[in-house]
Amino acid sequence: MSYIDYAAFDPVFWLHHAMVDRCFAMWQVLHPGNYVIPDPATYNTFTSYASQTQDVNSPLDPFYKDTFGNFWTSAEVYSTETFGYAYAETSNSSTTNVTSQVNTAINNLYGPKTWSSKLRFRASESSLTPSTSIEWIANIRVKKYALNSPFFIHIFLGPFNPDPSSWPFEPSLVGTHFIFVKGASAIANSACNCDPDQMVSGTIPLTYALEELVSEGSLKSLDPEDVNQYLAQNLKYRVTLSDGTEISNEDVPSLKISVVSAEVQAPSSDAELPMWGEVEEQMDVSTG
């Protein structure tokens, strides 16, 4: 799925977009009344230009809603039920509070079965209270067209083989972020209406890998004092093109990677979500 021209032929493409649609449908249940906020576009896209205001009535090119050349708008597709479907987590019933239903589904799928053990583990290894944990995240920002080609950003915690072909399989790899862009020929021919300064961002969760390091004794605790010292020595990143060719970090000067943390309060029941505290920036590792 690395190449835009062929991505839609990959079954993973459809699974990915279905998952995004499902997550957004659940987000809508938890944030009723929040939708599209009118705002001028920051960058050029395939169908609009920077400073052009986009709102709920902007056409969703290239998705036609009829044979007369009219496009769907965000206002018309607020609900998945417009197209005759709903997800198990978001379908409402007369006997179920749909908000609690979504919260419970999120917890059962992504958290509650591990919350109690994770919190006991973290509290015993740090200064946290038994109901509080610390989440660690690596934030990535880079110019989308930094290399005029699709590319990967790999983040490691610990040593790794210098051969880039091994990087996707390294035990120390904690995550990979992919920059999905048109190829150099399309950009050179202005086929994509590209803005060379457009920035994109992504995140790589670090908490699970750090917990494993605490378990094996390589890291004392998840407290910032211990984690920052460990990351300063062991967090590294590398860049490769989609064909595996290594690109020097210095050749992507716009790439910025910072580590942040936040205290998280455990939910009191499956029908509630964890409460995140203020996110604190811990360090810039862009020279790693």
> Is there a single domain that holds both residue 152 and residue 280?
yes
State the greatest distance between any 2 C-alpha atoms of the chain, in Å, as a whole number: 66
> Which of 70, 104, 138 lies at the terminal end of a domain, its last residue?
104
> How confident is the chain (288 residues) per 10-residue block, as mean pLDDT?
82 94 96 92 81 93 93 95 93 77 89 50 50 92 93 96 96 95 61 78 95 93 94 96 94 96 89 92 83
Round to whole Å and give the CA distance between 125 and 213.
12
| Mean pLDDT of the chain, nearest integer | 87
Residue 288 token pair: 């790693």
Establish if 11 belongs to a structural domain: yes
For residue 209, what are the contacts with CB-CB under 8 A and spacing of at least 6? 157, 174
Task: Tell me the pLDDT tens digit for each residue of 133-166.
Answer: 899 999 999 999 999 899 999 999 999 999 999 9
Say if residues 142 and 256 touch (Cβ distance below 8 Å): yes
- Are 92 and 48 within one domain? yes
In this structure, the answer to whether residues 64 and 176 fall within a common structural domain is no
**Residue 109 maps to a domain:** no
Structure tokens at 268: 């009191």
Is 143 a domain residue? yes
Same-domain status, 271 and 129: yes
Contact status, residue 151 vs residue 241, Cβ threshold 8 Å: yes
Note if the bond before 32 is cis, omega within 30 degrees.
Answer: no
Domain boundary among 104, 127, 148: 104
Write down the pLDDT at residue 124. 47
Domain that holds residue 62: 7-104
62-92 pLDDT tens trace: 899 999 999 999 999 999 999 999 999 998 7
Give the domain-ending residue among 104, 129, 159.
Answer: 104
